[in-house]
Amino acid sequence: MAILDPAPPWEPERSDYVILWHGCTVYDKNSIEGHGIDLSHCKIDTDFGRGFYTTTLERQARQWAWIRFYEWQANPANAGKTGNQPVVLRFRVRRYGVLTLTGLDNGLDHLLSLHFVRGDYHNEDYWSLVQHCRQSVPADPAKKIAEIIYDHKRMPAGWYDIVSGPVAAFWEQRVAMTDADQVSFHTPAAIDLLNKLIESGKNGNRDDYRWEPVVT
């Protein structure tokens, strides 16, 4: 049977790189570009634990950007503040490392990864990790609650560098979002890969990294 609408050829750059998107606000972007991605600023009670979350879907990153913006707007500490808006960050991440004139240009293949394909109710491996990580407890000094972070239990470091898979909609009921994905970065080695792309983008290589405003 003929394919009526074939996919683009699996050729460079498609075979060499994957495009990942991150939704945030201008204030977040400015901090990331100024100081690099900082894992200590990342939420801990998320699907795969404390990490920097991206997606292969631009539309999903745009939705995340609006959610992040509305959370910022609802914070009483930000009342009256202006100049913030939702944005998406675009990363062109090399799938595999290559030797260049300046040395080894690392890719995703040098990182320890954990991948999930299915998010249906019966995928107990996926939901076991999600429920484990989602039970992390953010610190609340006002209530004298100490932070509790649940890692991936990978010995000896505790964390996989990268985890990818479906996005939980209702994690306690084992319900995943339809047509959504996430690729999360959890270790200094993984974050270093993205920070180098940010520096490259700031130095003029907009293919490696750039940001775009989210408009209605």
Please check whether residue 202 lies inside any domain of the structure: yes
Number of domains in the chain: 1
Please check whether residue 5 lies inside any domain of the structure: no
Please check whether residue 4 lies inside any domain of the structure: no
Please check whether residue 151 lies inside any domain of the structure: yes
Domain around 159:
17-213
Whether pLDDT at 194 is above 90: yes
Please check whether residue 98 lies inside any domain of the structure: yes
Summarised one tens digit per residue, pLDDT across range 11-32 is 999 999 999 999 999 999 999 9
Please check whether residue 6 lies inside any domain of the structure: no
DSSP 27: H
Question: Could you give the count of Cα atoms lying within 13 Å of 126 in the half-sphere of its Cβ?
Answer: 20
* Contacts of 142 by beta carbon, 8 Å cutoff, 6+ apart: none
- Nearest Cα residue to 21 out of 215, 214, 156, 216: 214
Q: How far is CA 198 from the centre of its chain?
A: 14
Summarised one tens digit per residue, pLDDT across range 65-102 is 999 999 999 999 998 888 899 999 999 999 999 988 77
